[in-house]
């Protein structure tokens, strides 16, 4: 399924369609943008035809210096059957040779009033966001003290109930049941909710509740970067759980590894408070304060002192 088409760019940035309207639904497959100055000079050996082509003042002023025959030839080679669009910046007049070649090959020629560098930056950011690798995870995403906490676990373990308690305590819900995740950068995962279930929580025994209607606009947010995973599991008396917090487990989502904590669930444990403390402790660790490490260092000192006294 195509994520972005040329028409999306046209609408998003309010561009002017100059020619090539038949190709307005061409797919855009890469966030890379080309400024084909060297191609206009005649070198097409490595022409990235699948990219959006951006023509600014530099390219078009050089183009005007070329003989008429070369101008026609260069524009014909610039317009291919896989080129999603050719965009002219600074509201510069579009060359007739480009308009004619684009009409023949159905390549959309668009125009913007923005400067080339600024438009290139905005367009790249937009395309990278839209074309980022995506996945969906069964869980609940909550913003706790500025930390994006993804709560995972088997169905019925209490994820949604824990999220409801967190919302009551002033934190913000991003998504319940299904979290759509996109990798915006090498180590940046952003979670959102599917439109159909945005702002909704499913609580067994109550049914569907609208968090924004019940608790107000401050209780929800549309997206959040995921930095911590809390995996809830039913308490297993035979399993050894980490009691110090020295070992840091990781979970890989797409290509990014995220810190994961496994929390056993049994009656009497206040999961909302545990998750709050986990989020605060995670922030402290990022600031260089590690309580578990400090404890083990103090313990080592006490043991060493005891050994010296025995000697």
Could you tell me which residues are annotated as the binding site for Mg(2+)?
160, 202
Number of H helices, E strands in the chain: 10, 17
For residue 171, indicate whether it is catalytic.
Answer: no
Tally of CA atoms within 13 A in the half-sphere of 165 that contains its CB: 14
Alpha-carbon distance values, 247 to 24, 97, 149, 303 (Å): 53, 65, 19, 21
Residue from 95, 19, 4, 92 nearest 50 by CA = 4
For residue 8, indicate whether it is catalytic.
Answer: no
For residue 308, indicate whether it is catalytic.
Answer: no
Alpha-carbon distance values, 163 to 84, 189, 202 (Å): 43, 20, 10
Question: Quick one: angle between helices 271-286 and 159-168, nearest 10?
Answer: 70
39-44: list long-range contacts, CB under 8 Å, 24+ apart: 39/74, 39/77, 39/78, 40/66, 40/74, 40/78, 42/70, 42/74, 44/77
- Which residue in the list 14, 238, 239, 243 is annotated as catalytic? 243
Residue from 242, 259, 239, 240 nearest 250 by CA = 259
- Which residue in the list 104, 118, 138, 168 is annotated as catalytic? 138
Annotated binding site for ATP: 153-160
Buried b (16+ CB within 10 A) or exposed e, 109-146: bbbbebebeebbeebeebbeebbbeeeebebbbbbbee
- Which residue in the list 51, 71, 159, 199 is annotated as catalytic? 159
**Cβ contacts of 115 within 8 Å, gap of 6 or more:** 56, 89, 90
CA–CA distance, 223 with 172 (Å, rounded to integer): 10
Annotated binding site: 153-160, 202
For residue 159, indicate whether it is catalytic.
Answer: yes
For the annotated catalytic residues, the residue numbers are 138, 159, 177, 243
């Amino acid at each position: 399924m195509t994520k972005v088409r040329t028409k999306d760019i046209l609408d998003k940035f309010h561009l002017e369609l100059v020619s090539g309207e038949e190709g307005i639904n061409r797919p855009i497959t890469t966030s890379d943008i080309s400024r084909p100055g060297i191609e206009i000079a005649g070198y097409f050996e490595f022409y990235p035809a699948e990219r959006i082509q951006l023509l600014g003042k530099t390219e078009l002023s050089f183009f005007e210096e070329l003989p008429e025959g070369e101008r026609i030839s260069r524009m014909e080679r610039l317009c291919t059957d896989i080129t999603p669009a050719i965009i002219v910046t600074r509201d510069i007049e579009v060359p007739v040779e480009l308009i004619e070649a684009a009409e023949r090959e159905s390549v959309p020629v668009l125009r913007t009033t923005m400067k080339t560098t600024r438009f290139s930056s905005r367009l790249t950011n937009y395309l990278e966001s839209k074309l980022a690798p995506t996945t969906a995870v069964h869980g609940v995403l909550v913003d706790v003290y500025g930390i994006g906490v993804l709560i995972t676990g088997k169905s019925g373990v209490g994820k949604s109930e824990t999220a409801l308690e967190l919302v009551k305590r002033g934190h913000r819900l991003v998504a319940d049941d299904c979290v759509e995740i996109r990798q915006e950068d090498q180590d940046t995962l952003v979670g959102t909710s599917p439109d159909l279930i945005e702002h909704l929580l499913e609580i067994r025994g109550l049914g569907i509740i609208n968090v924004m209607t019940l608790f107000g606009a401050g209780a929800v947010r549309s997206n959040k970067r995921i930095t911590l995973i809390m995996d809830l599991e039913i308490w297993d008396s035979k399993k050894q759980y980490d009691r110090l917090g020295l070992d840091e487990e990781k979970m890989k989502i797409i290509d990014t590894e995220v810190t994961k904590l496994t929390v056993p669930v049994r009656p009497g444990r206040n999961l909302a408070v545990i998750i709050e403390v986990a989020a605060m402790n995670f922030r402290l660790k990022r600031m260089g304060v590690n309580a578990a490490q400090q404890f083990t260092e103090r313990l080592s000192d006490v043991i060493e002192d005891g050994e010296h006294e025995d000697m």
